[in-house]
């Protein structure tokens, strides 16, 4: 037999006795049929959280930023924590898909669409926070490099906050094109299967006239590779620039050259964890248990162990530097003896437990291959990564050079409400997407059916055709 077949000793990536037609039917079912009970439960919980968050946003805009727990010393805390957390989650999605495409990994097929969608929706959430923080969201366009109504008042190009605007908008546009390009063949499949004229028209528009000719596929492959090649270095640049919001300041604990690679590693760590969370949700709400297998979950967990190790080394380096400098100012940075035993000790230890200790359970094969444990550990990692950002901001700003400026940040119900609202908004978008867009790339899954399908592996074993 030809040499491109996978080893029969590898586990199948597609379970069940599937034919090409079955794959089309399974992936189109969530779009064409009715949603299951799990989808409705998840959607209503997410919708309630989103509406609560929107209420807190309207209250903030109507009353003023004073409803947050900020002070003169801590001028940004909860909001910028959430901003960096969401940007970090967003970054990994396109990176996962692009890198696995460049390395031609077959297990990419079941997870890439969710990862790319996660990027788009997470960057939307991140973008909300700087706009709300302005206090006057209607002047949000002031962050763009365009002359405003006061004449030639331009943005400050020396500010890393402006670099964020450029970096994130570039990354969002490339990610959006990469995601949409991958969806074109599937939109055309739904268009050709559609019975209702309105649905047919919508999917005809979305598919951009895809006809399935060899030329279409050739261009599709070329564009996907170019975009994957573009997106990979973009991920590194974007979170590097987010880290410069802190690293270009003179605050002890922020003014650090380790921040750019450290932030990139943390972003990939939290992003993989969020993809793992989403796969756990999506398996149940779209009945894709036969396409998202234990093998996919195990491969994801192996990458989480690797990136978690990089983050742990970065933590150890930061802790060592805070001690080795002997500076009293460095001893109240977010990773130091001062933080460990200080007023924010609870946040420091939350970071250590959720990010360093809990992921170590993934070394155990039973845990690494378990859907439930993987889901719970991925949520723990996301909590830990949120605490990391909170520690960096709240602990460093709470103790400045002047004791008279010391302040302890405590969030208000509005701070908490807006954050929970963005989590709800993210899942509302994701669940609606799972009902209107194909969540697994049909054509790509079909290409691996004869090498990674359970039925074909059995037939090859029975006939000794290796």
Q: Contact at 8 Å (CB) between 351 and 336?
A: no
Report pLDDT for 1. Answer: 40
Confidence class of residue 464 from pLDDT cuts 50, 70 and 90?
low
**Rounded Cα gap, residues 398 and 147, in angstroms:** 36
Q: Is the pLDDT of residue 92 over 50?
A: yes
Which residue bears the tokens 């996978």? 6
Report pLDDT for 50. Answer: 93
Average pLDDT on 349-362 reads: 89
How many Å is the Cα radius of gyration of the chain? 24
Q: Is the pLDDT of residue 374 over 80?
A: yes
Compare 61 and 451 and report the one with higher pLDDT: 61
Average pLDDT on 182-210 reads: 81
What would the two tokens of residue 417 be?
A: 């409400």
- Torsion angle of C-alpha atoms 335, 337, 343, 346, degrees rounded to 10: 60
**Rounded Cα gap, residues 103 and 418, in angstroms:** 39
**Rounded Cα gap, residues 338 and 84, in angstroms:** 24
Report pLDDT for 151. Answer: 65
Q: Is the pLDDT of residue 12 over 80?
A: no
In terms of Cα–Cα distance, which of 270, 269, 244 is closest to 257?
244
Phi, psi for residue 298 in degrees, rounded to 5: -65, -45
Helix, strand, coil abundance in the chain, percent, nearest 5: 75, 0, 25
In terms of Cα–Cα distance, which of 28, 41, 22 is closest to 434?
28
Q: Is the pLDDT of residue 423 over 80?
A: yes
**Residue 267 region, left (φ>0) first, then alpha (ψ -120 to 50), else beta?**
alpha
Q: Is the pLDDT of residue 197 over 70?
A: yes
Which residue bears the tokens 């969002």? 172
Alpha carbon of 354 to those of 314, 344, 359: distances in Å? 16, 16, 7
What would the two tokens of residue 114 be?
A: 């969710």
Q: Is the pLDDT of residue 2 over 50?
A: no
**Rounded Cα gap, residues 70 and 47, in angstroms:** 28
Confidence class of residue 209 from pLDDT cuts 50, 70 and 90?
confident
**Rounded Cα gap, residues 112 and 20, in angstroms:** 20
Average pLDDT on 62-72 reads: 82
Torsion 5-7-9-13 (CA) sign:
negative
Question: Concatenated DSSP letters for 125-194?
Answer: HHHHHHHHHTS-GGGGGGGSSS--TTSS----TT-HHHHHHHHHHHHHHHHHHHHHHHHHHHHHHHHHH-
- Angle, to 10 degrees, between the axis of helix 78-102 and the axis of helix 214-247? 140
Torsion 242-246-247-249 (CA) sign:
positive
Q: Is the pLDDT of residue 176 over 80?
A: yes
The most confident of the ranges 243-257, 289-303, 375-389, 444-458 is 375-389
Nearest 5°: CA angle at 129, between 380 and 65?
Answer: 115
Average pLDDT on 446-461 reads: 68
Report pLDDT for 5. Answer: 55
Confidence class of residue 428 from pLDDT cuts 50, 70 and 90?
very high
Q: Is the pLDDT of residue 302 over 70?
A: yes
Phi, psi for residue 431 in degrees, rounded to 5: -70, -35
What would the two tokens of residue 137 be?
A: 């969201």
Report pLDDT for 48. Answer: 93
Average pLDDT on 205-224 reads: 82
Q: Is the pLDDT of residue 297 over 60?
A: yes
Confidence class of residue 3 from pLDDT cuts 50, 70 and 90?
very low
What would the two tokens of residue 124 be?
A: 């939307």
Q: How much of the chain exceeds pLDDT 90, in percent?
A: 7
Report pLDDT for 51. Answer: 93
**DSSP reduced 3-state for 39:** helix
Question: Concatenated DSSP letters for 301-344?
Answer: HHHHHHHHHHHHHHHHHHHHHHHHT--TTGGGSSSSHHHHHSTT
Note the helical H segments in 369-453.
371-390, 396-398, 413-436, 442-447, 449-452
When mean pLDDT is compared across 81-90, 140-149, 171-180, 278-287, the lowest value belongs to: 140-149
Q: Is the pLDDT of residue 330 over 80?
A: no
Average pLDDT on 87-109 reads: 80
**Rounded Cα gap, residues 23 and 440, in angstroms:** 10
Confidence class of residue 466 from pLDDT cuts 50, 70 and 90?
low
Whole-number mean pLDDT of the chain?
82
Q: Is the pLDDT of residue 418 over 70?
A: yes
Predicted structure pTM score: 0.87
**Rounded Cα gap, residues 149 and 249, in angstroms:** 30
When mean pLDDT is compared across 117-121, 175-179, 286-290, 416-420, the lowest value belongs to: 286-290
């Amino acid at each position: 037999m030809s040499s491109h077949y996978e080893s029969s000793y590898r586990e199948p990536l597609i379970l069940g006795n599937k034919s090409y037609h079955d794959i089309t039917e399974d992936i189109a079912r969530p779009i064409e049929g009715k949603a299951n009970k799990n989808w409705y439960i998840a959607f209503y919980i997410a919708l309630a959280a989103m509406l609560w968050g929107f209420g807190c946003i309207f209250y903030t805009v109507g009353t003023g930023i004073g409803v947050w727990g900020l002070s003169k010393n801590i001028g940004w805390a909860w909001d910028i924590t959430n901003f960096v957390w969401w940007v970090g989650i967003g970054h990994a999605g396109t990176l996962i898909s692009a890198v696995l495409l460049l390395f031609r990994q077959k297990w990419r097929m079941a997870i890439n669409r969710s990862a790319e969608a996660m990027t788009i929706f997470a960057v939307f959430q991140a973008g909300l926070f700087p706009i709300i923080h302005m206090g006057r969201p209607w002047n949000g366009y002031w962050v763009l490099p365009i002359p405003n109504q006061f004449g030639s008042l331009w943005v400050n190009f020396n500010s890393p906050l402006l670099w964020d605007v450029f970096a994130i908008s570039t990354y969002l546009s490339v990610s959006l094109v990469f995601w949409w390009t991958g969806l074109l063949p599937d939109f055309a499949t739904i268009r050709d299967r559609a019975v209702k004229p309105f649905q047919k028209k919508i999917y005809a528009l979305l598919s951009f006239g895809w006809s399935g000719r060899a030329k279409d596929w050739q261009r599709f492959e070329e564009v996907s590779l170019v975009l994957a090649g573009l997106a990979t270095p973009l991920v590194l640049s974007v979170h590097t620039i987010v880290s410069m919001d802190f690293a270009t300041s003179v605050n002890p604990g922020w003014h650090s050259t380790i921040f750019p690679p450290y932030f990139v590693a943390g972003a990939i760590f939290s992003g993989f964890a969020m993809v793992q969370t989403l796969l756990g949700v999506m398996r149940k709400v779209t009945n894709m248990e036969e396409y998202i297998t234990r093998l996919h979950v195990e491969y994801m967990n192996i990458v989480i162990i690797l990136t978690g190790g990089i983050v742990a080394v970065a933590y150890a380096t930061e802790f060592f530097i805070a001690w080795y400098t002997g500076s009293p100012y460095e001893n109240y940075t977010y990773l130091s003896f001062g933080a460990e035993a200080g007023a924010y000790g609870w946040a420091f230890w939350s970071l250590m437990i959720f990010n360093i200790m809990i992921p170590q359970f993934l070394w155990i094969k039973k845990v690494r291959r378990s859907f439930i444990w993987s889901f719970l550990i991925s949520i723990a990692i996301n909590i830990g990564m949120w605490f990391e950002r909170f520690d960096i901001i709240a602990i460093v700003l709470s103790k400045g050079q002047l004791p008279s400026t010391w302040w302890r940040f405590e969030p208000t119900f509005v701070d908490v409400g807006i954050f929970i609202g963005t989590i709800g908004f993210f899942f509302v978008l994701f669940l609606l997407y799972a009902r209107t867009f194909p969540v697994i790339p049909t054509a790509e899954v079909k290409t691996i059916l004869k090498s990674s399908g359970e039925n074909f592996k059995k037939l090859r074993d029975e006939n000794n055709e290796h």
